[in-house]
Amino acid sequence: MSTQEAYRPLSKMMSDVFASVDLLTTSQLKRLEEHKYSASGKSITEPFLQIFWSWLVEQIPRSIAPNLITIVGLAFNFLGMVILISYCPNATEEAPRWAYVFAAFTLLVYQSLDAIDGKQARRTNSASPLGELFDHGCDSVSVSLVSLSVVVSLQLGDMPGYLFVFCFCSFFMFYAAHWQTYVSGTLKFGVIDVTEGQLLYCFVMLISGAVGPQIWSSMLLGLQLKLWSIYFGLAVALFTLYQHLQVILKGGIGRAGSTVANTSVIAPIFHIGSVILLAFLIAWRSKMEVYQRNPNIYILAFGMLSAKITNKLVVAHMTKSSMDLWDVAFLGPGFLLLDQYLDSFFPEKYILYLFLIWNTLDLIRYSTSICNQICKHLNIYCFDIVTKRPSNHSNSQVTTKLSQ
């Protein structure tokens, strides 16, 4: 037997493993089909913005799929972030003034399109569980994009500790919002929530664009303005976290106060906790200062890992399923930590870039496979609400639906 022939069974086995990993079972798909979106609460600015959002959605053709609106918004957000970090790779440099203004504009575009995708779904009678999952999935990626744009606008790279705390606090808070949803079955919005945060971030970027990012190094009552901004954000985050923990520790709607999946209400902490612990250990142990010398790439790499974990939590909530702690996305930071124990046999910077590529591709693979599976089950298309899919024999009892 040739080496190639001997390798083929192993190759097929690995291919099958990665093709099937994370895919939903028949029972999960059934529970997803029965899932109903539930949310409560309004932030202080939302009633005013609703007027603009209601007008904006009327300008969108009815043939445009809600998910297409969402992904276009994310693309704008990504573009604004990429331009900023290309000029400021260490979050200490100064970008052209227009770059900050453009980043603020792209964030507003993302916020607006993210707010009207659900309206478009109801307007076109194309709402489905896929739309909720797709929306939250894009939001999970946007968290790292927005966080990076803010720290670059504040020139927070000269304070790596604060940069680390701010970004990973953002990851944790977004995860915590869906954690309490997993427990209570309802996504609860606070008086000051993500909408206000995004508007505040736009303000920071616009100030940097108007007078330059050096303004945030000015002193006020013995502290730099950038630190006042960070402390204010952390105070709001702690207040919001307190509200989330009240819901979580009160007990869920499952059996004996468990989650919607009848699992422990505490268990999800281990997933996001592993992300933050790995990020801290790698940054702390690094002899090559891999975090301090590459803060943007470091945050983006762990942001993709956090997005994958959060997406799995959203899927677990919508399918009323448990979450597995192990995930192939942990291979990236795992290899980086292993290299440190081997006394940095490979340059940590190169492994960090491979980590970013691996986790980004894994997130795309996961999201694509889940969306494709749901689309086939519901007989819909992700980005098309005009064309109907051919009837699926394995799901002939499901009425053909349109996408959101």
Backbone phi and psi for residue 187, each to the nearest 5 degrees, phi listed first: -80, 115
Q: Please answer whether residues 80 and 233 qualify as being in contact, where contact means their C-beta atoms are separated by less than 8 angstroms.
A: no
Catalytic residue, from 136, 178, 244, 271: name it: 136
CA distance 126 to 403: 5
Angle formed by the axes of helices 160-184 and 295-319, to 10°? 0
Contacts of 356 (CB under 8 A, 6+ apart): 297, 300, 301, 304, 332
Q: Is the dihedral of CA 348, 350, 353, 359 positive or negative?
A: negative
Q: With beta carbons less than 8 A apart as the criterion, state whether 321 and 32 touch.
A: no
The rounded distance, in Å, linking the Cα atoms of 97 and 206 is 9
Say what angle helices 160-184 and 225-250 make with each other, to 10 degrees: 20
Let me know: does 151 contact 166? Beta carbons within 8 Å.
Answer: yes
Q: Over the range 53-66, which residues count as b (16 or more CB within 10 Å of their CB) and which as e?
A: beebbeebeeebbb
Torsion sign (Cα): 233, 234, 239, 241:
positive
Quick one: which of 310, 316, 306 has its CA closest to 275? 306
**What residues form DSSP beta bridges with 39?**
187
Amino acid at 132: E
**What ranges in 88-128 are assigned the alpha helix state H?**
97-123
Task: Round to whole Å and give the CA distance between 372 and 383.
Answer: 11
Q: What contacts 29, CB < 8 A, 6 or more positions away?
A: 319, 373, 374, 377
Measure the CA–CA gap between 340 and 363, rounded to whole angstroms.
25
Question: Is 136 one of the catalytic residues?
Answer: yes
For the annotated catalytic residues, the residue numbers are 136
